[in-house]
Amino acid sequence: MRSVELFAGAGGLALGLAEAGFRHEAVVERDQNACGTIRENTKRGVIDWPLFEVDVRNFDYSSYRGGIDLLAGGPPCQPFSIGGKHRGFGDTRNMFPEAIRAVRELKPKAILFENVKGLLRESFAKYFEYIVLQITYPEVEHRPNEDWSDHLSRLEEYHTRGKHDGLCYRVVFRLLNSADYGVPQRRERVIIVGFRSDLGVDWSFPPATHSRDALLRDQWVTGDYWERHRVPVKKRPPVPESIRRKLDFGWFGPTTEPWRTVRDALRGLPDPESSRGDGGFLNHRLVPGARSYAGHTGSPLDEPAKTLKAGDHGVPGGENMMALEDGRVRYFTARESARIQTFPDDYGFFGSWTESMRQIGNAVPVMLAKRIGGDVARGLEAVG
C-alpha cells in the first residue's frame, strides 16, 4: 500500500507505518537536522524512503494523485501544546490547512493525523470541529479573505444538508494513551483517522492491549515482574497501600498485558554510568548535570516514563530524567529515550544530544504508529 508522509520529523510515525505494511512514496520534512537523521539511516540501510527536504507549503502533489492509499502526518503541534503559547488557529505554525490541502489534492483512500491532547482543550473546541469538518469535506475550500469561523459556518451548513457530492471522508478521532498499546511511556495523543466515504469502510480504533492494573497484578499479585528483572526481595519497593487493600478483597487484575515500564524499556542496555563510551549502542552516551527539585523529578523505573518532551535540560517536570533506585536522578541517554519511544536500536539520531532529544521528544512512538496503522491497513485490505 502506497503512502505519503508529511511533517515526518525524525521518522517515528513513518517507521511504524512502514512496519504496518505501507510503502512511502514521499516523506516530507523541512527541518535540516531531522532530515539528516533520515538520510543517515537511509545510508546505513535501516530505511529506504524518498525524502523531500522542503516546506510542505511548497510541495507539489501532482506526481502522486490518484494512487495513494494513506496520507499521514503530525501537523506541527506548538499552536495547541500545553507547553506552548496556545495561539491555535492564529499561530503561523499551524499546518492543518496544509494537511487538508494535501487531502484535497491527493484524494487518498485513508488519512491518519496525530497531534497533542491540547487540541481537545475547551478553548480550542470550536476550531477542532473546524479541523474535522475540513477533513470530512476537503473540497469545501476556504475562500480568500474569509474568516475561519465563517468557513466553519459554511461547512456546518454543508454537513447538515444530508446529501454530499464530491470528495468526502468518514472521520473519527480519539485521545489515546500510548502506554495502553505497549509503549513504555504515558503519552496521550489525539489520533484522527478517516476513510474515503465511497469505500464504505467500517472502522473503529483498536482496543487497548496493555493496562496499569495488569502491571500492578504483575508486580504485586504474581510477582513475575520482579522475577523477570531479577530484583531481589530486599530491593523491591513496599506494596502500595492502595494495592494492599485490593489484595485483601481478592483482587487479581485484568487479563490484558501489563503496561511496560522504564525498567522494561532499558532491559539489555548497559549502564551508561559504568560503561565506557556508548557500550556498543548508538546514542548511548551519558550527559551529566541532572538534578532534582520540587516539581522537577525523573521517571520512576517501575512505571511507564513521563511524556518525553522536545527539550533537553530545561524540561519543566524532569521528563527527560530517570529516578534511580538510590534516590539520585540522571538524564536519559538519547538511546534510552529512543527505547522509550520504541525506536529500534539500529535507528540512529544524528547531531548533538540536545538535538537528538528534541527529535525523539517530537516523535510519534513507533509501536503506537504500527498498531493504529496496522488496523488502518486491514480496513483498506477489506475493500481491496
Residue 171 has phi, psi (to 5 degrees) of -120, 135
Q: Which of 77, 103, 287, 380 is catalytic?
A: 77
210-211 vs 257-258, strand pairing mode: parallel
Comparing CA positions, the residue from 191, 188, 189, 186 lying closest to residue 204 is: 191
The region, left, alpha or beta by phi > 0 then psi within -120 to 50, assigned to residue 166 is left
User: Three-class SS string for the chain?
Assistant: CEEEEECCCCCHHHHHHHHCCCEEEEEEECCHHHHHHHHHHHHCCCCCCCEEECCHHHCCCHHHCCCCCEEEECCCCHHHCCCCCCCHHHCCCCCHHHHHHHHHHHCCCEEEEEEEHHHHCHHHHHHHHHHHHHHHCCCCCCCCCCCHHHHHHHHHHHHHHCCCCCCCEEEEEEEEEHHHHCCCECCEEEEEEEEEHHHCCCCCCCCCCEEHHHHHHHHHCCCHHHHHCCCCHHHCCCCCHHHHHHHHCCCCCCCCEECCCHHHHCCCCCCCCCCCCCCCCCCCCCCCCCCCECCECCEECCCCECCCCCCCCCCCCCCCEEECCCCCEEECCHHHHHHHCCCCCCCCCCCCHHHHHHHHHHCCCHHHHHHHHHHHHHHHHHHC
CB 178 within 8 A of CB 186: yes
CB 309 within 8 A of CB 315: yes
Catalytic residue at 77? yes
Task: Please state, as a whole number, how many other Cβ atoms lie within 10 Å of the Cβ of residue 199.
Answer: 16
Dig out the grid coordinates for 282 from the structure: 548508538
Q: Which residues does the annotation mark as catalytic? A: 77
